């Protein structure tokens, strides 16, 4: 009898390596925090009231769902994808409107883009095959949710990603309010660290909208942080930068 488990993401996939470390996930979190604020559909996240009242928790939930799918067995991952669809359908029914397909695609595109960007900053350049692996995983997530208009190949995604960055982002009053909430919930030092991480990570279109004109002060410190991982001091740095309420969750992300 064959007892081998079938996973949604192959156990040898680069995607598991990316999403198996809190370092890269925190970078993905930082990039998503910037784009969530700028997305023209951010009013949907304000509709439930959860985003302004707990922006870190709301973003962490999004990242956690993605990570759960990456490490789940196939059936469990499919159930999680269906649960995500049901949650969003419930919000649509309460508001009496449909979330635009492009808004769903934007979230998937963020996860693809920042998975690649975070790993390349903290680790090494990915091969084209590895980038296509990242795309394929989130394409299958979107396909499982029944999303329309998804690109079928990595090169098509690159083109559509650029179009979405130009068409679907703006700095609005809700953008301004959300960054105020980030600062309120993080505190000044952690908020400034978030901003510097975003300067290091986000695409130029996002930098322009957030008026990021100078280079991140973290750029020369990346090598120092990599060394801290080698000598097992990165846990101390994370403790200083992460709010106490989320330290347990962040530590649990390090599954290798």
The predicted pLDDT at position 221 comes to 79
Three-state DSSP state, 216 = coil
Q: Give the single-character DSSP code of 4.
A: -
Q: Which of the four pLDDT bands, split at 50, 70 and 90, describes residue 74?
A: very high
- The residues, any chain, with a CB within 8 Å of residue 145's CB and separated by 6 or more, are 81, 84, 85, 104
Encode pLDDT of 206-228 as tens digits.
Answer: 999 999 999 998 888 777 777 66
- For the cut 90, the answer to whether the pLDDT of residue 165 exceeds it is yes
The DSSP code sequence of 87-105 is HHHHHHHHHTSPPPHHHHH
Give the Cα separation of 130 and 115 in Å (integer).
Answer: 11
Dihedral over Cα of 152, 156, 162, 167: its sign = negative
SS3 of the chain: the string is: CCCCCCECCCCCCHHHHHCCCHHHHHHHHHHHHHHHHHECCHHHHHHCCHHHHCHHHHHHHHHHHHHHHHHCEHHHHHHHHHHHHHHHHHHHHHHCCCCCHHHHHHHHHHHHHHHHHHHHHHCCCCCHHHHHHHHHHHHHHHHHCCCCCCCCCHHHHHHHHHHHHHHCECCCHHHHHHHHHHHHHHCHHHHHHHHHHHHHHCCHHHHHHCCCCCCCCCHHHHHHHHHHHHCCCHHHHHHHHCCHHHHHHHHHCCCC
The Cα 217–Cα 28 span in angstroms is: 18
Residue 25 predicted with pLDDT over 80: yes
Residue 228 tokens read as 């801290």
Percent of the chain with pLDDT over 70: 84
pTM for the full predicted model: 0.89
């Amino acid at each position: 009898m064959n007892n081998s488990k079938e996973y949604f993401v192959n156990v040898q996939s680069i995607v598991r390596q990316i999403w198996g470390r809190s370092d890269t996930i925190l970078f993905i979190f930082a990039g998503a925090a910037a784009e969530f604020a700028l997305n023209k559909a951010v009013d949907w996240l304000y509709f439930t009231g959860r985003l302004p009242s707990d922006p870190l928790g709301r973003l962490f939930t999004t990242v956690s769902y993605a990570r759960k799918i990456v490490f789940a067995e196939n059936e469990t991952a499919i159930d999680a994808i269906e649960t995500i669809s049901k949650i969003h359908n419930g919000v649509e029914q309460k508001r009496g409107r449909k979330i635009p397909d492009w808004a769903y695609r934007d979230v998937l595109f963020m996860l693809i883009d920042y998975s690649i960007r975070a790993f390349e900053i903290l680790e090494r350049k990915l091969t084209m095959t590895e980038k296509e692996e990242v795309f394929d995983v989130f394409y299958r997530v979107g396909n499982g949710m029944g999303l329309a208009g998804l690109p079928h190949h990595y090169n098509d995604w690159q083109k559509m990603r650029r179009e979405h960055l130009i068409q679907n982002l703006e700095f609005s009053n809700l953008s301004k309010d959300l960054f105020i909430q980030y600062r309120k919930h993080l505190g000044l030092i952690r908020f400034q660290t978030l901003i510097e991480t975003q300067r290091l990570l986000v695409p130029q279109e996002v930098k322009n909208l957030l008026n990021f004109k100078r280079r991140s002060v973290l750029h020369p410190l990346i090598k120092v942080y990599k060394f801290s991982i080698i000598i097992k001091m990165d846990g101390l740095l994370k403790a200083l930068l992460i709010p106490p309420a989320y330290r347990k969750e962040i530590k649990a992300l390090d599954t290798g």
